[in-house]
Structure 1
């Protein structure tokens, strides 16, 4: 099933908006309260292509290419978590929204949490999906940095495929279409330069500025669900416990038989987790 044929029978919009000078690609479907979806490092809106149809029955789903990613503008500066958070705020302002639901995968989950700590007035509740920066093992960071840069600078079908397979528990979920979509994104001349700004956060010194810590996590008052998996290549379920303790009142669930992209591998379960948690009355 193609990403685009999965949404061909629903009304959706693919467009660009001006987020404080940053041309930003947006995929939107549905009506009602807005839910913004944020992808991971090296990702793009197609990462949520399998979720749009079901989620759009319950929310106005807004999926964006984050700063420097996909077909969004790529200003030449290192992308820290604060930069991504600022861009998210600019997107919310550009859309004229006063409050949103948030869900982010990997880097997107890290950004969503930071944003909720800095701008709690904009977030009803959020789901952090296999969030980034949980494991600060230098070997894992170096491996992620090298594989990301290699997939871009030495872009080939096989290198992009290998980078995508790293995300999945079931490698067969890496479709030919997904590889080609990402290959086309990675071979943009401006992306070849931007990748070094994208992997900035894999540098231990840069990363240390945004490490999960009570100093900022304790400021999160938004109802929060941590959605982990049993085969995440970046961290174990046990690694979620300290973060759960840092975020007041947060909950934890585990999606089985999935790697770093549960939204792609376990579509029905992931959608149900989001809908059930975000739709529950705020206490």
Structure 2
């Protein structure tokens, strides 16, 4: 055995065994009869034993060739699957996508976007892992995920990020006097029980500054880490909250209303990924798809 086997040699052998002659095999493979003969000769030389016998005008496999046939068929099937998978990856219809995100995203905006994205990409496997921003940063540094959706990101040399601002709204129980207003300002919330995000967050600091600029002090009735938690309290009539419209939109028809909040206090999302890990084509495509889904929530001047 002094040469490498090739898939084309194996295909030629199968074609000859199936069709019985070199001529018919050449037609099936759409190559010349001498080309088929050469492929069989090279395969015979590589393996070191005869593969075909001639009986009654037909070529039939030798016992050694019959013994090899199951492995040959499995090999060609595997190559075919690899080829199909490679084509699907190139066409972005197959692959693996690992996303780390804030817990609120895992149950609000992200599932809808992923459902649309995967509709034409049935071969893509997705993993979603929700956690706090600090943990998401650890995962990005450790290259454990392809993409992270977080907030309050202040930069890290091992992480590439893109900031996207999302407009905020004031959400309140249905029937509240706030429904009479077209835009809600800090002065309109003086007597309201306000549900806020954690005090150490960037968003809380910006919101506090907006209240001070309007001559008010931001007071907190309930502190909640996630906007979705605030929405749940508002649904129960506990108070009001200034949150991302992405989250508020998930609660339409659930006993709440919301209005634009002014001055503009955007919720800054960060789309992050490891710098030293090459981002897959499917991950890059999803990033663009996800950014497109956020365009309708871009902040607008009041």
Q: TM-score, normalised by structure 2?
A: 0.29
Q: TM-score, normalised by structure 1?
A: 0.31
